[in-house]
Amino acid sequence: MSVVQASLAMIMAMLSTAAVVRAAPQFALRDTAGVVHREEEWSKSRAVVIFFTTTDCPLSNSYVPEMNRIRAAYGPLGVGFYAVQTDITIPEVEVQKHSREFGFTFPLLLDPKQILVRKTGATATPEVALLSNTGNVLYLGRIDNRVVDFDNRRPAATESYLRNALDAVLAGKPVVRQRTDVVGCAINIVG
């Protein structure tokens, strides 16, 4: 084997190893039903939506019906949906009860190391991240503009930020508005 062939073989081996490392799951998180979810699931979706919630945030809780409606509309189009419990001090049994009582129609993940909060840059609940199936953040912010401020809410949203972002991604277009300010309960990042 020549020096060039040996060098090429070594480069190919390094590239092959790098691809395997990138493809490996970066997290394994249980949901409230005990099912483990990994980042590799995302590759099966056209896009991934992560709703950041917590059991004791009234704004977050008020959005669960809209989260379920969005999942019902976009899930059949190949979009994956998850919620993440952001307050790691809430006992798991309370999060499970919350998931049942509020009727989440998609997995509510327990994320004790706040991996997904850190990955997306989420700062409040209810905040939503729209990701590509490779994990790139395409949109981060409000679900819509129904909540103007803590004590000021519209009867109905006039701007649907997440739906607009989803429509763009599914049409193969860039998301025009990639970030919006969030009104909600602050996420306490631990560590």
Give the model's pLDDT for residue 148. 86
What pLDDT does 5 receive? 45
Do 182 and 127 form a contact (C-beta atoms < 8 A)? yes
**CA–CA separation, 186 vs 116, rounded Å?**
15
Helix (H) / strand (E) element for 187: namely none
- How many whole angstroms separate alpha carbon 41 and alpha carbon 62? 28
Is the CB of residue 125 less than 8 Å from the CB of residue 59? yes
Q: Which two tokens stand for residue 84?
A: 């993440």
d(CA 169, CA 66): 20
Distance of CA 135 to the CA centre of its chain: 9
Question: Are the CB atoms for 161 and 180 separated by under 8 Å?
Answer: yes
pLDDT in tens, the chain (191 residues): 454 444 334 434 443 333 333 333 489 999 999 999 999 999 999 999 999 999 999 999 999 999 999 999 999 999 999 999 999 999 999 999 999 999 999 999 999 999 999 999 999 999 999 999 999 999 999 999 999 887 888 898 999 999 999 999 999 999 999 999 999 999 999 87
pLDDT of residue 3: 46
Question: Dihedral sign, CA of 149, 150, 151, 157?
Answer: positive
Looking at residue 176, what is its pLDDT? Answer: 95
